Chain A
Amino acid sequence: MSKINFLKPDKSNLYIFLYLGSFLFFVSVLDVFLNSFFSLNLTGFLPGFLSFLLPLILGFIGLYFIRIELSGIKHLDLLNKHINTNNFNAILSLLIIFIILKSTPPILSWFFIDASFAGDSKDVCTGTGACWTYIKVWMRRFMYGMYPNGEQWRINLSFIALALLGSVGFFATERFKKYLTLYYVIIYPFIAFLFIFFFISGGPVFFDFSYGIIAAILSIIIGFFIPSKFKFYYFLIVPFALYVLLKYFIFYEELIELGKLDGLNWVETGAWGGLSLTFIISFFCLIFCFPIGMAFALGRRSGFPLIRYISVGFIEFWRGVPLITVLFMSAVMFPMFLPADFFIDKLVRCIIAISLFEAAYVAEVIRGGLQALPRGQYEAAKSLGMGYWRMHIFVILPQALKLVIPGIANTFLALVKDTPLIFVVGLLEIVGMLNLAKTNPEWLGFAMEGYVFAAIIFWIICYAMSKYSYNLEQKYKTDR
Chain B
Amino acid sequence: MTVIAVVLVFGFFTYNAQVNMENRGIDFGFGFLSQESSFDVQFSLIEYDGSHSYFRAYLVGLLNTILVSVIGIVFATILGVIVGIARLSPNYLINKFAAFYVEFFRNIPLLLQIFFWYFAALRALPLPQDAEAMFGISFLTIKGWYVPAFIWQNFDIFFYSLAAAIISIIIIRVRAKKLQETQGKQTPVLLISIGLILILPLLSFLVGGVRLSFEVPVLKQLATTSFIYDGGVSLPPELIALALSLSLYTATFIAECVRAGIQGVGKGQKEAAASIGLTPNQVLKLVVMPQALRIIIPPTTNQYLNLTKNSSLAAAIAYPDLVLVFAGTALMQTGKAIEIVSITMFTYLSLSISISLFMNWYNNKIAIKEK
Contacts and interface: CB of A to CB of B under 8 A. Distances in A.
Interface in A157-212: none
Nearest to B315: A324
B199 interface: no
- Looking at B113, B310, B349, the one whose CB has the most chain A CB atoms below 10 A away is B349
Contact of B341 (A233, A329, A420, A452): A329
B312 A324 contact: yes
B45 interface: no
Contacts of B5: 236-237
B330 interface: no
B323 A96 contact: no
Contacts of B331: 332
A338 B13 CA distance: 6
A466 B253 CA distance: 14
Interface residues of A, number: 58
Interface stretch (B115-123, B229-237, B261-269): B115-123
Given A96-B94, A463-B107, A435 B115 contact: yes
B70 interface: no
Contacts of B156: none
Interface stretch (B19-27, B36-44, B164-172, B360-368): B19-27
Interface stretch (A28-36, A85-93, A116-124, A396-404): A85-93
A307 B5 CA distance: 12
B107 A459 contact: yes
Contacts of A322: 309-310, 312-313, 323, 348
Given A310-B6, A463-B107, A448 B341 contact: no
B16 A337 contact: yes
A431 B91 contact: no
A328 interface: yes
A451 interface: yes
Interface stretch (A131-139, A252-260, A313-321): A313-321
A431 B2 contact: no
A472 to B, nearest CB: 18
Contacts of A459: 104, 107-108
A455 B108 contact: yes
A317 B352 CA distance: 10
Contact of A82 (B91, B108, B119): B91
B187 to A, nearest CB: 30
Given A82-B90, A322-B310, A447 B109 contact: no
Nearest to B109: A417
Contacts, number: 152
A420 B20 contact: no
Contacts of A319: 352
Contacts of B21: 336
Contacts of B312: 322, 324-325
A320 B356 CA distance: 10
A435 B115 CA distance: 9
Contact of B20 (A321, A329, A336, A438): A336
B315 A451 contact: no
A325 B23 contact: no
- Looking at A85, A328, A335, the one whose CB has the most chain B CB atoms below 10 A away is A328
Contacts of A89: 89-91, 94
Interface in A424-474: 424, 431, 434-435, 438, 447-448, 451-452, 454-455, 458-459, 462-463, 466
Given A320-B348, A325-B345, A458 B115 contact: no
A4 interface: no
A418 interface: yes
Nearest to A461: B107
B190 interface: no
A447 B120 contact: yes
Interface in A371-395: none
- Looking at B91, B92, B342, the one whose CB has the most chain A CB atoms below 10 A away is B91
Contact of A324 (B2, B89, B108, B323): B323
Nearest to A90: B91
Given A83-B93, A447-B119, 12 more contacts: A81-B90, A236-B1, A325-B312, A325-B327, A332-B337, A333-B337, A337-B14, A419-B109, A451-B120, A455-B116, A458-B108, A463-B103
20 contacts: A82-B90, A89-B94, A92-B93, A96-B94, A233-B1, A236-B2, A307-B2, A321-B348, A321-B352, A332-B331, A336-B17, A340-B23, A420-B111, A420-B112, A423-B111, A447-B120, A448-B116, A451-B119, A455-B108, A455-B112
Interface of A: 81-83, 85, 89, 92-93, 96-97, 233, 236-237, 304, 306-307, 310, 317, 319-325, 328-329, 332-333, 335-340, 413, 416-421, 423-424, 431, 434-435, 438, 447-448, 451-452, 454-455, 458-459, 462-463, 466
